[in-house]
Amino acid sequence: MAMEAGSGSAGCSARTLAACVIGGIVLGASVLALHLSGPAAIPSLPPLDAVRRRFRRRRRPVRVYMDGCFDMMHYGHCNALRQARALGDELIVGVISDEEIKANKGPPVTPLHERMIMARAVKWVDDIIPDAPYAITEEFMNKLFTEYNIDYIIHGDDPCLLPDGTDAYALAKKAGRYKQIKRTEGVSTTDIVGRMLLCVRERSSDAHNHSSLQRQFSSGHGQKVDDGGSGSGTRVSHFLPTSRRIVQFSNSRGPGPDSRIVYIDGAFDLFHAGHVEILRLARELGDFLLVGIHTDQTISSTRGRHRPIMNLHERSLSVLACRYVDEVIIGAPWDVSKDMITTFNISLVVHGTIAENMDFMEDDSNPYAVPKAMGIYCRLESPLDITTSTIIRRIVANHEAYQKRNEKKEASEKKYYESKSFVNGE
């Protein structure tokens, strides 16, 4: 048996040696052939720069463009931008100029610089173009394609008509560079202005002590049209919040174990540039910004029965869409308690210097008494002197112009709702 094993080993060694010899001959022949054929036989590689350019062309992100007035920006605007961003890798937003809005729709409630702050703060927006035109002209469309490398122009399924009745996006559609998203039901700037106009009429007549018309707006009671005796035909909104929509607006990440969590609370009604700027400063003070949003009942009890203009879920979505916000408490308590601070591991509680009503700071029942006693309370200097009342005063000051604007816009919205069909998209 030992001899047989030895013989087998010798046989393997011989076969291995033979394979090596044959392999060496083949390799040598190959090298000789390459030498005799000359340099031309070796395939040349493309220059490194050319490879990089090809790779960049293949990997260039899809850039999409959406424009809008974004006047009194609300969760419907934000949801449109979210959907637009999902159609590409980068979203560029055109913010239409004050002059263009006035010429095509009527005076804007919020000026361009405030609307730019709002658009830039939406977490799905990558860049903005100020003073964008209302209509996509051929010149501006070519500029989008060449200078901004835009691949597609996006708009909602609701019609956008120019004063002469033509489609504002006709050229983009003709060029095959247009994509459509689904309009967010239940809200529009026209609707929100209508809510405020109702509030103005209520305060002057005070005819509905038992249940304000604004409360019907804010709570979405009844899918109907109410003219409030003015003939404006203001449409009552019917916002239907869903758990999926809240998830779509929410961030998937939570705070880390060592995160410095900053807390700020408020009504955040008619979410505006003043809100955005104080949230930006609050976020800079920590690693995670938690925002408490007070209930409709709390706001009504502290600011009057005509408030809030937007209901709790509408306000929550607007705040969630802000890039500086990490998480919200939907229906936060008025008082910041020790238990709440412990539960959410809050490191700092902040409040701005500009608010609807600062009287509570002097009361014995100061809602921030606990964080103040703990030494974790901070007052931030508000960058902008804007409140919800500021926005309402703008409407009141130019009441007739906004009434006419709404009447004009409501006609097209009524036509949209009468002829609308299902559009697949989220």
β partners of residue 68:
95
Which among 34, 96, 42, 37 has a CA at the least distance from the CA of 65? 96
pLDDT on residue 209: 42
Question: How would you list the strands of the sheet with 178-181, edge to edge?
Answer: 127-132, 90-96, 63-68, 152-156, 178-181
pLDDT on residue 123: 98
**Chain centroid to CA 130:** 17
Q: What is the DSSP string of 354-367?
A: --S--GGGGSTT-T
pLDDT on residue 402: 67
pLDDT on residue 324: 98
pLDDT on residue 411: 56
Q: 161 Cβ partners below 8 Å, 6+ apart? A: 167, 168, 412
Q: What is the DSSP string of 277-292?
A: HHHHHHHTTSSEEEEE
pLDDT on residue 54: 60
Per-residue pLDDT of the chain (426 residues; tens, 9 = 90+): 444 444 444 444 555 555 555 555 555 555 455 455 555 444 455 676 665 556 555 578 999 999 999 999 999 999 999 999 999 999 999 999 999 999 888 889 999 999 999 999 999 999 999 999 998 999 999 999 999 999 999 998 877 777 777 888 999 999 999 999 988 766 777 778 777 777 666 555 554 443 443 444 344 333 333 433 333 333 344 567 789 999 999 998 899 999 999 999 999 999 999 999 999 999 999 999 999 999 999 999 988 888 899 999 999 999 999 999 999 999 999 999 999 999 999 999 999 999 887 666 666 679 999 999 999 999 999 999 999 999 988 888 877 666 666 565 555 555 545 655 555 556
Amino acid letter, 51: V
Q: How far is CA 276 from CA 114, 324, 332, 384, in A?
A: 10, 8, 19, 10
**Chain centroid to CA 310:** 17
pLDDT on residue 165: 77
Please tell me the distance from the alpha carbon of residue 34 to that of residue 141, in angstroms, as a whole number.
Answer: 55
pLDDT on residue 354: 92
